[in-house]
Amino acid sequence: MKSQGLKNKKVYPGRRVFVGLSGGVDSAVSAALLKKEGFEVTGVFIKAWTPEGYPCNWKEDRRSAMKVAAVLDIPFITLDLEKEYKKEVVDYMIAEYKIGRTPNPDVMCNKEIKFGHFLKFALDSGADFVATGHYAELSKDKIGSEVLSEAKDKNKDQSYFLWTLTQAQLKHTLFPIGHLQKSEVRKLAEKFGLPQATRKDSQGLCFLGKVDMKEFLSRYIIPKKGNVLSESREVIGYHNGALFFTIGERHGFTITQKTEQEVPLYVVSKNVEKNTITVASKIKFSSQPSSVSLSNVNLINPTSLKLLGTEEKLSCRIRYRQEKISCQLEKDGKQVKVIFDQPQMGVSPGQSLVLYDGENCLGGGIIN
């Protein structure tokens, strides 16, 4: 972990915040709002890992972040987390695909990089908080515990990616734009004179926004041609490796035999050992579990433990931006079992399942 550019300034106790500046409008406005509210703000650009041979505009993003710091007249730091990002986000993602699971690198990036290494660096450097441009809200309950909730702008809400955060992390975290609509954020950028007002949203995981995932993974996982099967086990096409597919996916394989109906086909199961995938129409989707078990469970508020084994109705998401699904929780040995009111399609091991009570994000776990 390396940093550049930290300046010595007078510290106001309890009001010093390091803002993760990505170069985009959301983090820029977050920094501006915090400065307006009287915080002592330092902008931090996190340099992540970039694969050789792929286009990645991290230098452009860094310049954009520096412009924010210049306009707001705040110190600017470049925090090099390239090695950490490669090991804890990229290597994790590749390892999961190699065993046939579907990882969520955005979740891991938040857990290990933004609210792991970045938060530790900020606190070690004398900050009281870190802030990001995430669309989510924080509040406190009656006993003073941190409560993570969905953002006001439901189309931009990012609580799904924040389920791993703990009370220890959240008490040092600020989400300044969670109460705003995206359109309001852009208007504020104009008001503050920020050049990001008209800049396109940043991609988050730099190279993944511009490069086909299967093409990237083929650098680390050797493609191997295999059969596409119908539900009746008939060979109807081919693909370049079962490891590359996730349940519910409808692209990336080739159908050579006519099926009963000319309708979109979805991956309903895969056999990594035999290197086959089975596809079916959405109407005939056969792989619809009524429950799943979770590992690596994190409950943000300790009081949520009382919901295990009760009949209280909660909701969950197994994909980002999915409509919330009604469910209940049960204790399943050392794991947590989530029982859906209705069977669900597109459930894939390795995915994040995130739990909600109304708009409050309770936490989540990894689907087994």
Residues with catalytic function? 109, 206
Q: What are phi and psi of 101, to 5 degrees?
A: -105, 165
Nearest CA to 103 out of 112, 1, 18 is that of: 112
Q: What are phi and psi of 291, to 5 degrees?
A: -160, 160
Helix, strand, coil abundance in the chain, percent, nearest 5: 30, 25, 45
What tokens appear for 180 in the block? 């705003």
Nearest CA to 96 out of 228, 245, 238, 203 is that of: 245
Whole-angstrom CA distances from 10 to 41, 54, 150 are 11, 42, 35
Q: Which residue matches tokens 């004179």?
A: 193
Q: Let me know: does 269 contact 250? Beta carbons within 8 Å.
A: no
- Alpha-carbon distance 182 to 140, whole Å? 24
